[in-house]
Amino acid sequence: MSEPATQLESWTGAIAAALDAGDTATAAELAAQRHPAELADILEALPGEARLALWRLLPDPEVRGEVLIEARREVRDRLIEATRSTELAEAVSHLELDELADLYDKLPRKVVRALIRTMDLQRRQRLRRVLSYPEDTAGGLMDADALAVREDITLETAQRYLRRVRKKEGALPEHITALFVIDRENRFRGLLPLDELVAQPQSALVGETMDHEFRAIPADTPARQVARLFEDRDLTTAPVVDPEGRLIGRITVDDVVDVIRDEGERSLMQSAGLNRNEDMFAPVLATAARRGVWLGANLVNAFIASWVIGLFGATIEERVALAILMPIVASMGGVAGIQTLTLVVRGIALDQIGRANGLRLLGHEFRVALVLGLALALILGAAALVWFRDPTLALVFGAAVVINLANAAFSGTLVPLALERAGIDPALAGGMLLTALTDILGFASFLGLAAWILV
């Protein structure tokens, strides 16, 4: 686990200062005291040359392999490109199969071939099994090394099996709290908690002691849903099965924590049109090109909004107060819309919104918007009346606020649902579309009412 941000920042500063001063010995000594996850954070915080300099100072291949797993994809790819094939092969040879699968497509082919040659037949088959599933599914998350026993053996035999595994491997797998129980065809049958294994009579059969109600996770289950299952059931480990119910691996809580963290970062970054794996020190032109696409899309929205305003140029010229008040109408609609959009996007992510309750949610948000709209219309209309001493202008202003908040409720609900139905991530494109709709309709409603009533 990484240290608090302030401590990690001080370590990053100390390592950066040592590298700038050419004191590689001190930089290496400082780096050797950090966990691989912290080293990954430090490497991401360093600019290109300093990053590669620190990477070359890491002598332990096992640490290098763990750093590659912990680093963001864009940073990781650059580290792989800067590393010799022999060093890469040595670094990744210590990784678990699910971790190796994450790097598989980015490693040079000769490194992959060298790794495959060092594996026994069983390990090769397990690696192929993990690689056969998409990365964002239970099959892509799982570790293919799952400890399993048959239901017709005694608890004493199961204990002897655990001792043999520990003697052969040097340690039991991490986060093991239970053994998975299978039948002779390798189909999952249940779960045997370790506390039951040691507490019950050794002559008892596994089938008599195990938890028959525990449900395995199908390999094609989306990673986001896997995280929900772990959260809802307070799991630390869970078996993964193929479509025929055969045990093919396990997922542990550390894998799920990574999924939760990645989902949070993805939502945060995509709300600004950025990639979750964005490198802070990526090449300037590449960064500018990626961000330019998002800025260009927003520029189109801005031009459309400006065009709508231009349609009412004569109205604004006659009533300058309209130019002062119209940004308020658009702003209030935008804020209300973002609130609804955030609520709906979260509901979609948690599988709480679908056809059964979509229309009810729309009605609920519309009623909330009417209540807020009427309250704000009274307050803002009164303020406009005091400011400009024009009752008709205050009425138009208040009516436009109500209309745009109603529009915000509709747009904030329907836009993410439509994007989800179209297969587009609503966290990525929802905010931009919502802002366009609330700005355009806010300006159009306010200026249209003014042109009709005032001028």
φ/ψ of 388, rounded to 5, equals -105, -5
φ/ψ of 406, rounded to 5, equals -65, -40
% of residues, the chain, pLDDT over 70: 93
CATH superfamily, region 148-270: CBS-domain (3.10.580.10)
Query: Cα(19)–Cα(23) distance, rounded to whole angstroms?
Result: 6
**Banded model confidence at residue 265, pLDDT cuts 50, 70, 90:** low
Q: What is the pLDDT of residue 216?
A: 93
Angle between helices 24-32 and 48-56 (to 10 degrees): 70
List pLDDT tens digits, range 32-51: 898 888 999 899 888 878 88
Q: What is the pLDDT of residue 1?
A: 41
| H-run or E-run covering 302 | helix 284-311
| Domain locations along the chain | 5-132, 148-270, 284-453
Place of tokens 């849903």: 225
Query: Cα(48)–Cα(53) distance, rounded to whole angstroms?
Result: 9
Q: What is the pLDDT of residue 241?
A: 94
pTM of the model: 0.67
Residues 6+ apart with CB under 8 A from 387: none
The DSSP bridge pattern shows strands 178-182 and 148-150 to be parallel
Q: Hey, do 148-270 and 284-453 end up sharing a CATH topology, with the first three levels equal?
A: no
Residue 62 structure tokens: 């096992």
φ/ψ of 187, rounded to 5, equals -80, 140
| H-run or E-run covering 231 | helix 223-233
Q: What average pLDDT score do residues 239-243 get?
A: 93
* Degrees, nearest 5: CA angle 246-249-250: 125
**Banded model confidence at residue 114, pLDDT cuts 50, 70, 90:** confident
pLDDT at residue 171 is higher than 60: yes
Query: Residues 181, 259: contact at Cβ < 8 Å?
Result: no
pLDDT at residue 6 is higher than 70: no
Residue whose C-alpha is closest to residue 216's, from 196, 254, 186: 186
**Banded model confidence at residue 204, pLDDT cuts 50, 70, 90:** very high
CATH superfamily, region 284-453: SLC41 divalent cation transporters, integral membrane domain (1.10.357.20)
> Could you tell me which residues are beta bridge partners of residue 217?
240
Tell me what the pLDDT averaged over the chain comes to.
85
CATH superfamily, region 5-132: MgtE N-terminal domain-like (1.25.60.10)
Residue by residue, DSSP assigns 120-155 as: -HHHHHHHHHHHTS-TTBHHHH-BS---EEETTSBH
List pLDDT tens digits, range 319-358: 888 888 888 998 898 889 888 988 888 888 767 787 778 8
Query: Cα(359)–Cα(365) distance, rounded to whole angstroms?
Result: 10
**What are the Cα distances from residue 56, in Å, to 36, 40, 283, 352?**
14, 13, 20, 48
Query: Cα(391)–Cα(381) distance, rounded to whole angstroms?
Result: 8
Query: Residues 137, 220: contact at Cβ < 8 Å?
Result: yes
Task: Return the amino acid letter for 422.
Answer: A
